[in-house]
Amino acid sequence: MTATDWASVATRVQAPSGLLIDGAWVEALDGRRMDVVSPIDGARVASIAIGGSADIDRAVRAARTAFEDGRWSGLAPAQRKQVLIAWADLIVARAEELAYLQTLEMGKPAHESLAIDLRAVGTTMRWFGEAIDKVTDEIPHTDPNALALVTREPAGVVGAIVPWNFPLTMAAWKLAPALATGCSVVLKPAEQSPLSALLLAELGMTAGIPAGVLNVVNGLGAEAGAALSAHRDVDVITFTGSTAVGATIMQASAGSNLKRVWLELGGKSANVVFPDADIERAARTAAWSIFFNQGEMCTAGSRLLVHESIHDEVVDLVMDVAAAMQPRNPFADQAPMGALVSASHLDRVDALVQRAKAEGSRLITGGAAAQVEPGGSYYPPTVFDRVDTAASIAQHEVFGPVLAISTFGSDEEAVRMANSTEYGLASAVWTRDLTRAHRVSRALKVGVCWVNCYEEGDLTLPFGGVKKSGFGRDKSLHALEKFWDLKSTWIQLDE
Catalytic residue ranges: 264, 298
Give the binding-site size for ligand NAP (rule: CB under 6 A): 32
Name 448's Cβ contacts closer than 8 Å, sequence gap at least 6: 299, 425, 426, 427, 457, 461, 463, 464, 465
Q: Is 229 in the site for ligand NAP (CB under 6 A)?
A: yes
Q: Is 161 in the site for ligand NAP (CB under 6 A)?
A: yes
What are the distances in angstroms from CA 372 to CA 40, 338, 340, 379, 398?
9, 10, 12, 9, 21
For the chain, the residue count is 495
Q: Is 399 in the site for ligand NAP (CB under 6 A)?
A: yes
Contact 185, 205 (CB under 8 A): no
Sheet with 402-408: strands ordered across:
362-365, 382-385, 402-408, 303-307, 270-273, 426-430, 448-451
Among 39, 107, 129, 225, binds ligand NAP (CB under 6 A): 225
Q: Is 292 in the site for ligand NAP (CB under 6 A)?
A: no
Contact 167, 102 (CB under 8 A): yes
Which residue type sits at 227? Answer: A
Q: Is 116 in the site for ligand NAP (CB under 6 A)?
A: no
Among 64, 81, 188, 396, binds ligand NAP (CB under 6 A): 188
| Residues 403-432 interacting with ligand NAP (rule: CB under 6 A) | 425
Q: Which is nearer to ligand NAP, 102 or 248 (CB)?
A: 248
Q: Which is nearer to ligand NAP, 6 or 463 (CB)?
A: 463
Q: Is 397 in the site for ligand NAP (CB under 6 A)?
A: yes
| Smallest separation, CB 74 to ligand NAP (Å) | 30
Q: Which is nearer to ligand NAP, 408 or 483 (CB)?
A: 483
Residues β-bridged to residue 426: 448
| Smallest separation, CB 402 to ligand NAP (Å) | 13
Q: Which residue's C-beta sits nearest to ligand NAP?
A: 221
How many C-beta neighbours within 10 Å does residue 411 have? 17
Stretch that binds ligand NAP, among 108-116, 223-231, 281-289, 364-372 (CB under 6 A): 223-231
Among 107, 109, 156, 163, binds ligand NAP (CB under 6 A): 163
H-helix or E-strand containing 360? none
- Calculate the CA 302 to chain-centre distance: 17
What are the distances in angstroms from CA 325 to CA 52, 167, 194, 310, 320?
40, 23, 28, 23, 9
Stretch that binds ligand NAP, among 65-73, 214-222, 315-323, 483-491 (CB under 6 A): 214-222
Q: Is 298 in the site for ligand NAP (CB under 6 A)?
A: yes
Q: Which is nearer to ligand NAP, 220 or 466 (CB)?
A: 220
Q: How far apart are CA 193 and CA 15, in angstroms?
A: 12
Name 264's Cβ contacts closer than 8 Å, sequence gap at least 6: 239, 240, 241, 298, 463, 464, 465, 469, 470, 472, 474
State the residues that interact with ligand NAP by CB under 6 A: 161-165, 188, 190-192, 220-222, 225-226, 229, 240-242, 245, 248-249, 264-267, 298, 397, 399, 425, 465, 469-470
